[in-house]
């Protein structure tokens, strides 16, 4: 058991707080011979890092990853090759805005983990949220960058599909759009709507929830294991572990409640190339906890950040009734930056099951 | 790592297939001195067992639990006392209707795990679904019965809140109703609606999805651990491990996507008894992965069973296009029997975190 | 974490007490397609079962293994084929001699686990030693029988090499002898010596310690992983988990303390077949925690059973000074029956690392 | 599963190679509120660090520990207080002597892990032994320093008791001596013998094995769990994980082979203070895998380092027969520096079981 580790064979341990000197992760179990460059990792880090638009927190962090162990440099002096030993990655905290934490140190912000950390541990690193800060997710994205390399065929992408009541039109889905707007939005028509909507929320010092969809293509059929090593189970666990996530779906998700057996089941046929084809993908690429070979589809809902300008009722550490208002930098919609994090979590889950499958079946997909 | 084990300190390993001689579980880590009777376990088993109404499968299983180890009998000859060693529980399969499995053995039923088991393992126990059968969940309910005993204050209950498009009216919620209809429905007004609706589905040989809500009261504040030992993460994992589940929510769940920070955050005040009070429970009793002391609220969506009378397109093990129709006993709405299973999963997750909390904090809540 | 489970990918959970209805194990992670017969398992069980000579306990147990899950019968009606799901094996307790446990229930036998179980759990199954009984090791041998099948090239054998001060002459080592005497002794010349020696001990109601050596041949090079997944580490852990074991060695073991670097290092040369050869095997087949391809050699020391006829000073559960004498059946040298158990433990450790190697390296040795 | 993690509730993950920028560990599960200073950790590090006498390697490393997460500074600006989140500790490598590794990169040193790493991973960090270097043990000692703090009553000490054939006289055992000679030798009379003996070995470019004894006092009775969570099992596992260790003993160890039941069993009496007393401690403080409250006694044998000046036969990565001679810094007796490492391992095992005991029994010893 480990409170700060996930995965069984592709095993990631993260550490670090928002305002300590650094944060990082140790990836254990990475196969030897995996080749990657720092630039490749950094590209994923850059998707997540703060301060990239007016719609996310204005904290400035470069999120430069240092690889401290587990690799040998190739002759090109740039490509790293994993050796099979643990890969330790470190990211320094640089923009720890100096300020007086006196108020937050003693008052529990509603919707935050302040109260629960204190009630559990009797001590809490209140600086910037400490361990409960979304800074921790930087380490996840670094690990996810390696996970993508472990499964050769894997392509994990995600997009924001809902902010508040504004949902994208799936008919407009265009992956190329995702990299061209500050929301990771696949629907070009929705971008201006969200811009205006979020500007209002941002100016009001408020915040709003969102939904992210992750789609993993190139997942070999056969990953996952009955009945407590199901692929969807581990994806659900990891997506739910992301800060502020309150719901997770696979495939048709909660929509299945309204489907009949005829509507829900994905029929099959043999393809012209002699491979099985699913005629639909209500299952989101997973049946009985095992991947079908179709795209793995997962969605998760992120609540609005509780750091808002509106004064709220709360208590302090001494048990007094107090009012709390969160000043300073904040994310009007934390769901935006959750997009690369969701990708990383799904990539890690799939990489883990890819290795688990090798162990139990002896094949190497 | 274990494919068939869940929990870290209250650790449950299940085994068994639908049509083998028996199925069961081993519960490891149960504290010593826990007192229970077979009748208490059996009461939970009876909630789950098949054949209790026309709305569930007509398979007849008594689901009698035998406790093979880990207990001493008290002087009353009835009360079992756990000794701290593993508790092995066994449930015999009795109604294994003899039939020719020839067709199912060779044809993949759409929506079932037939294909994925075969593609993974190259061998599959096709009799009654083998390991992918809902029979396995009997062992979960037995383990859940012990889990309830581990946390003295715990009260876990669940109800079916949606079948197809028919959702209950939460204003009518009455726990007393749950035990008085074949649906575990808390809304008396909805019962006749569901009866008529499901009768139609049953007669048509079709099936329909559903949503279950689990509410755990008496959960001490402080259970769960950042950041990969979150209580909601483990609840999500275990609920997603239940057969046919495609979505999991905590508290307001996917509803948070439409909430503002003001609407979502649960404000606090000191109660008259000197204890903190949350003025709402959008969080579903969990903040930062740690329980707040409020009721833990989880929901999950169950897809319609794929065993339907309608002919569907599929392939066989030799790669031929075939048509498949599932004859025989089936559940028109498997969501009904998922109610006690959901309770058991949440109880197990909470018991596990209760023990984990003792380890890390040294307190005994 | 699990108190009663070992292995990571070939994962064995045992349960059961000496005087309950049964004991058993669940083997999780066994690859699919492993073929075995009950007769093959039983052959190993028979090596361990009690009552086979006057030098071991006279308890009579047939130790018949039932396989309850995880297999399909082949067309021959006899060969079982693993399906990749958990294999549950059950062994009934049949010779639970009815007697009054009143004395043992309340008095701590020196050298036994009576006191420590009580001080830990506050409750203890005193009947026949409960969970601390060597009965539990029957489940290990059953699991070991499967483990042998997982690694195709594996051949694990063990022998008793020392009883009291009487050590075998290694020059006389003959594997064929091991099956032809009641001691698993590889040195024919030592057999009559041990017979006379043990007869005296047995008649005196005393007991004596012993040393077992396990040799595993056909272990592929490359099993084990730095630095806390070392093969020798896991072998040491499992051998030390056997009742009454107080010491474990790999290769030259404690003898290395007296060796120089020149004497200890195993030099290498290329063989005529183009494969590396080690010119000696001081390392016992493991370097840096990873198998070299040479025979894996492990030894373990078993203390004399504490169940002796001589009266000893002790205390009772109420804190009174008392005298204790263990009447009834006992093993004059429990080391004898530890031979097949040691084999099973080493086989399980190797099978586990065989699967772990597949996961991390992608090869299938 | 994790290759580079040990412990279940006091869980330590180490990372880093001999010649990378740094090495370190992440300690997960440390209870909150544990108070320590960097100076306290550093004191243990200093016991292990190289270059302190002519009898150990002349590599110069300050082994300064940086704590990167998981703590808050107390008001004194010096005392760190654990917060319950993962504690990341980092130690920079500073004396990475620049040299040409060409020869070692391609030739397998007999007795080293060179060959097995290559055969397993197909790639190996040959610089200074990479991950197989004893540098990794610095992280263990840092973790051990925290472990000592977790169990308030714990006092773990170790001593070197044998070098080559020269064993200490136990009658001379004096803990005060241990800190006053370069060997951690408790027998003042043996120090000059070892000095002369090791000087000869050092000058000859040879090396010699040794035995370390670890004694843990203040271990509460009741730690450890049957049957695969035995305290001695975990101690054996961790001691065997130390580089070059080939044997592990608890209590009388291999000596039990020659003992009768009467000689081996530790009789009991009630003490004048109403607490049970063991009249001897052949068991080494552990019965049935559970601590008795007596001192836990463990010993381990360390082989001579294989880095010797004598030319040895080996092969290279291309399969050619070659001769290998290890030039440069080396330890004539690596057993010396294993003393603080052994302490750390035993402390970690006990801390882990201390937390496990809290979980299962609910008490806080």
Looking at CA atoms only, how far is residue A1 from chain C in angstroms?
Answer: 5
- Chain C hits for D120, Cβ within 8 Å: 221-225, 290, 357, 361
**A55 — pLDDT class (breaks 50, 70, 90):** confident
At D266-278, the pLDDT tens digits run 999 999 998 999 9
Residue B328 has pLDDT above 80, yes or no: no
Q: What CA–CA distance (Å, rounded) separates D249 from D299?
A: 5
Q: What CA–CA distance (Å, rounded) separates B306 from B208?
A: 9
Question: What residues have CB less than 8 Å from A170, skipping those under 6 apart?
Answer: A161, A187
Q: Which of A1, A84, A359 sits opposite C9 (nearest CB)?
A: A359
What pLDDT, on a 0 to 100 scale, did the predictor assign at position A323? 95
Q: Which of C225, C359, C363 sits opposite A355 (nearest CB)?
A: C359
Chain A residues interacting with chain C (CB cutoff of 8 angstroms): 1, 9, 29, 31-32, 84-85, 225-226, 355-356, 358-364
Q: What CA–CA distance (Å, rounded) separates C247 from C183?
A: 20
Instruction: Give mean pLDDT, residues A9-13.
Output: 98
What pLDDT, on a 0 to 100 scale, did the predictor assign at position A271? 93
**D58 — pLDDT class (breaks 50, 70, 90):** confident
At residue C162, the 3 state secondary structure works out as: strand
Q: What CA–CA distance (Å, rounded) separates A112 from B292?
A: 11
The count of domains in chain B is 1
What pLDDT, on a 0 to 100 scale, did the predictor assign at position A59? 72
In three-state form (DSSP H/G/I as H, E/B as E, the rest C), the secondary structure along chain A is CCCCEECCCCEEEEEECCCCCEEEEEEECCCCCCEECHHHHHHHHHHHCCCCCCCCCCCCCCCCEEECCCEEECCCCCCEEECCCCEEEEEECCCCCCCCCHHHHHECCCCCCHHHHHHHHCCCCCHHHHHHCHHHHHHHHHHHHHHHHHCCCCEEEEEEEEECCEECCHHHCCHHHHCCCCCCCCCHHHHHHHHHHHHHHHHCCCCECEEEEEEEECCCCCCCECCCECHHHHHHHHHHCCCCEEEEEECCHHHHHHCEHHHHCCCEEECCCCCEEECCCCCCCEECCEECCCCEEEEEEECCCCCCCCCEEEEECCCCEEEECCCCCCCCCCCCCHHHHHHHHHHHHHHHHHHHHHHHHCCCC
Partner-chain contact B32 D361, CB within 8 Å: yes
Q: What CA–CA distance (Å, rounded) separates C65 from C45?
A: 8
Q: Which domain holds residue C299?
A: 5-361
- Is the dihedral angle over the CA atoms A200, A203, A209, A213 positive or is it negative? positive
Q: What CA–CA distance (Å, rounded) separates D356 from D350?
A: 10
What the block records as the tokens of C176 is 């064929």
Size of interface C-D (CB pairs under 8 A): 379
Report percent pLDDT > 70 for chain A.
Answer: 98
β-strand partners of D287 = D290
Looking at CA atoms only, how far is residue B314 from chain D in angstroms?
Answer: 38
Q: What CA–CA distance (Å, rounded) separates B42 from B60?
A: 15
List C-alpha distances in Å: C260 to C287, D306, D333. Answer: 17, 9, 10
- Chain D hits for C164, Cβ within 8 Å: 257-258, 260
Q: What CA–CA distance (Å, rounded) separates C335 from D154?
A: 34
Report percent pLDDT > 70 for chain C.
Answer: 98
**B234 — pLDDT class (breaks 50, 70, 90):** very high
Chain D residues interacting with chain B (CB cutoff of 8 angstroms): 1, 9, 29, 31-32, 84-85, 225-226, 355-356, 358-364
List C-alpha distances in Å: D188 to A266, B49, D56, D197. Answer: 79, 73, 19, 15
Question: Is A54 a known ligand-binding residue?
Answer: yes
Residue predicted with more confidence, C47 or B213: B213
Residue A58 has pLDDT above 80, yes or no: no
What pLDDT, on a 0 to 100 scale, did the predictor assign at position B189? 98
Instruction: Give mean pLDDT, residues B99-121.
Output: 88
Residue C71 has pLDDT above 60, yes or no: yes
Task: Write down the mean pLDDT value for chain A.
Answer: 94
- Per the CB < 8 A criterion, the answer to whether B213 and B173 are in contact is no
The DSSP symbol for D138 reads H
The DSSP symbol for B152 reads T
Q: What CA–CA distance (Å, rounded) separates A4 from D13?
A: 11
Partner-chain contact D292 C116, CB within 8 Å: yes
What pLDDT, on a 0 to 100 scale, did the predictor assign at position D100? 61
List C-alpha distances in Å: C218 to C153, C160, C232, C300. Answer: 5, 21, 16, 21
DSSP string, D325-357: ---S---S-TTTTHHHHHHHHHHHHHHHHHHHH
Q: Which of C1, C31, C226 sits opposite A360 (nearest CB)?
A: C31
β-strand partners of A14 = A25
β-strand partners of A268 = A278
What pLDDT, on a 0 to 100 scale, did the predictor assign at position B97? 63
Q: What CA–CA distance (Å, rounded) separates D239 from D237?
A: 6
What the block records as the tokens of B307 is 């065993």
At D60-87, the pLDDT tens digits run 778 999 999 999 999 999 999 999 999 9
Q: What CA–CA distance (Å, rounded) separates B156 from B82?
A: 21
What pLDDT, on a 0 to 100 scale, did the predictor assign at position B300? 98
Binding-site entries of B for NADP(+):
48, 54
What pLDDT, on a 0 to 100 scale, did the predictor assign at position C1? 66
Task: Write down the mean pLDDT value for chain D.
Answer: 94
- Per the CB < 8 A criterion, the answer to whether A336 and A210 are in contact is yes
Among A114-123, A328-337, C44-53, top mean pLDDT goes to A114-123
Residue B49 has pLDDT above 90, yes or no: no
Which of C70, C360, C361 is the best residue to mutate to test the A interface, defined by the most A CB atoms within 10 Å of its own CB?
Answer: C360
- Per the CB < 8 A criterion, the answer to whether A358 and C8 are in contact is no
The DSSP symbol for B290 reads E
The DSSP symbol for B69 reads S
Q: What CA–CA distance (Å, rounded) separates A175 from A168?
A: 13
How many beta carbons lie within 10 A of that of residue A74, not counting itself?
12
Partner-chain contact B32 C130, CB within 8 Å: no
Partner-chain contact B360 D355, CB within 8 Å: yes
Instruction: Give mean pLDDT, residues D295-312.
Output: 94
- D102 exposed, middle or buried (CB, 10 Å; 0-12, 13-18, 19+)? exposed
- B-contacting chains (≥3 CB pairs under 8 Å): A, C, D
Angle in degrees, 0-180, between the axes of helices A338-361 and A137-150, rounded to the nearest 10: 40
Distance from CA of residue D97 to its chain's centroid? 25
Q: What CA–CA distance (Å, rounded) separates D67 from D37?
A: 10
At D112-130, the pLDDT tens digits run 999 999 999 999 999 888 9
Residue D136 has pLDDT above 60, yes or no: yes
At A239-298, the pLDDT tens digits run 999 999 999 999 999 999 999 999 999 999 999 998 999 999 999 999 999 999 999 999
Rg over alpha carbons for chain A, rounded to the nearest Å, is 21
Q: What CA–CA distance (Å, rounded) separates B238 from B298?
A: 11
Residue D98 has pLDDT above 60, yes or no: no
Phi, psi (5° rounding) for residue B144?
Answer: -60, -35
Q: What CA–CA distance (Å, rounded) separates A141 from A145?
A: 6
Residue B326 has pLDDT above 90, yes or no: no
Q: What CA–CA distance (Å, rounded) separates C137 from A51?
A: 61
CATH number at residue D72: 3.60.150.10
Q: What CA–CA distance (Å, rounded) separates A183 from A188?
A: 10
What pLDDT, on a 0 to 100 scale, did the predictor assign at position B361? 96
Q: Which of C29, C85, C360 sits opposite A355 (nearest CB)?
A: C360
Partner-chain contact D209 C259, CB within 8 Å: yes
What pLDDT, on a 0 to 100 scale, did the predictor assign at position D327? 75
Question: Is C225 a known ligand-binding residue?
Answer: no
Q: What CA–CA distance (Å, rounded) separates A115 from D85?
A: 16
At B154-204, the pLDDT tens digits run 999 999 999 999 999 999 999 999 999 999 999 999 999 999 999 999 999
Where in chain C does DSSP place strands (E)? 5-6, 11-16, 22-28, 35-36, 65-67, 71-73, 80-82, 87-92, 155-163, 166-167, 210-217, 245-250, 268-270, 276-278, 286-287, 290-291, 296-302, 312-315, 321-324
Looking at CA atoms only, how far is residue D314 from chain C in angstroms?
Answer: 4
Q: What CA–CA distance (Å, rounded) separates D226 from C121?
A: 11
Looking at CA atoms only, how far is residue D232 from chain C in angstroms?
Answer: 7
Looking at CA atoms only, how far is residue A309 from chain C in angstroms?
Answer: 44
Partner-chain contact D226 B85, CB within 8 Å: yes
Partner-chain contact B68 C16, CB within 8 Å: yes
| Residue linked to tokens 């000043």 | A327
Q: What CA–CA distance (Å, rounded) separates A223 from A289?
A: 8
What pLDDT, on a 0 to 100 scale, did the predictor assign at position D1? 66
Exposed e or buried b per residue across C203-227, where buried means at least 16 C-beta atoms within 10 angstroms of its C-beta: eebbbbbbbbbbbbeebbbbbbbbb
What pLDDT, on a 0 to 100 scale, did the predictor assign at position B102? 72
* Helix ranges restricted to H, B204-337: 231-240, 261-264
Which of D27, D31, D358, D365 is the best residue to mutate to test the B interface, defined by the most B CB atoms within 10 Å of its own CB?
Answer: D358
* Helix ranges restricted to H, chain C: 38-48, 102-106, 114-121, 137-150, 175-178, 190-203, 231-240, 261-264, 338-361
What the block records as the tokens of D241 is 């994980």
Partner-chain contact B28 C2, CB within 8 Å: yes
- Chain C hits for A226, Cβ within 8 Å: 85
Distance from CA of residue D76 to its chain's centroid? 32
List C-alpha distances in Å: A301 to A165, B248, B299. Answer: 12, 10, 14
Partner-chain contact B222 A119, CB within 8 Å: yes
The DSSP symbol for B354 reads H
Q: Which of B263, B250, B285 is nearest to A245 (CA)?
A: B250
Residue of chain B nearest C123, judged by CA positions: B83
List C-alpha distances in Å: D141 to B142, C169, D44, D49, D78. Answer: 44, 42, 7, 10, 20
At A176-207, the pLDDT tens digits run 999 999 999 999 999 999 999 999 999 999 99
At residue C46, the 3 state secondary structure works out as: helix
What pLDDT, on a 0 to 100 scale, did the predictor assign at position B54? 81
What pLDDT, on a 0 to 100 scale, did the predictor assign at position C174? 98
């Amino acid at each position: 058991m480990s409170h700060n580790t996930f995965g069984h064979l592709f095993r990631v341990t993260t550490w670090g707080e928002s305002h300590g000197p650094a944060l990082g992760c140790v990836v254990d179990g990475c196969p030897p011979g995996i080749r990657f460059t720092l630039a490749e990792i950094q590209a994923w880090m850059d998707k997540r890092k703060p301060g990239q638009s007016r719609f996310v927190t204005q904290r400035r962090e470069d999120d430069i990853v240092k690889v401290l162990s587990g690799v040998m440099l190739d002759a090109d002096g740039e490509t790293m090759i994993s050796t099979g030993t643990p890969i330790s990655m470190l990211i320094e905290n640089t923009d720890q805005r100096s300020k007086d934490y006196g108020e937050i140190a003693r008052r529990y912000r509603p919707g935050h983990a302040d109260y629960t950390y204190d009630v559990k541990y009797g001590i809490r690193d209140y600086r910037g949220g400490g361990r409960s800060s979304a800074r921790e997710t930087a380490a996840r994205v670094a690990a996810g960058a390696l996970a993508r390399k472990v499964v050769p065929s894997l392509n994990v992408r995600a997009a924001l599909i809902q902010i508040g009541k504004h949902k994208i039109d799936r008919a407009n889905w265009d992956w190329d759009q995702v990299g061209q707007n500050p929301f990771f939005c696949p629907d070009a028509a929705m971008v201006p709507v969200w811009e205006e909507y979020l500007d209002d929320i941002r100016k009001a010092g408020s915040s709003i929830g969102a939904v992210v969809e992750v789609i993993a293509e190139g997942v070999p059929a056969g990953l996952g294991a009955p009945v407590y090593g199901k692929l969807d189970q581990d994806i659900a666990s990891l997506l739910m572990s992301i800060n502020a996530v309150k719901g997770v779906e696979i495939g048709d998700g909660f929509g299945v409640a309204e489907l009949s057996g005829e509507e829900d089941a994905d029929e099959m046929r043999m393809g012209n190339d002699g491979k099985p084809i699913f005629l639909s993908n209500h299952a989101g690429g997973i049946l009985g906890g095992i991947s079908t070979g179709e795209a793995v589809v997962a969605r998760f809902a992120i609540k609005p950040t509780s750091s808002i300008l509106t004064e709220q009722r709360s208590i302090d550490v001494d048990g007094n009734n107090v009012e709390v208002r969160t000043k300073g930098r904040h994310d009007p919609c934390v769901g935006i930056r959750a997009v690369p994090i969701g990708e990383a979590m799904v990539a890690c889950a799939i990489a883990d099951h890819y290795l688990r499958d090798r162990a139990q079946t002896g094949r190497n997909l």
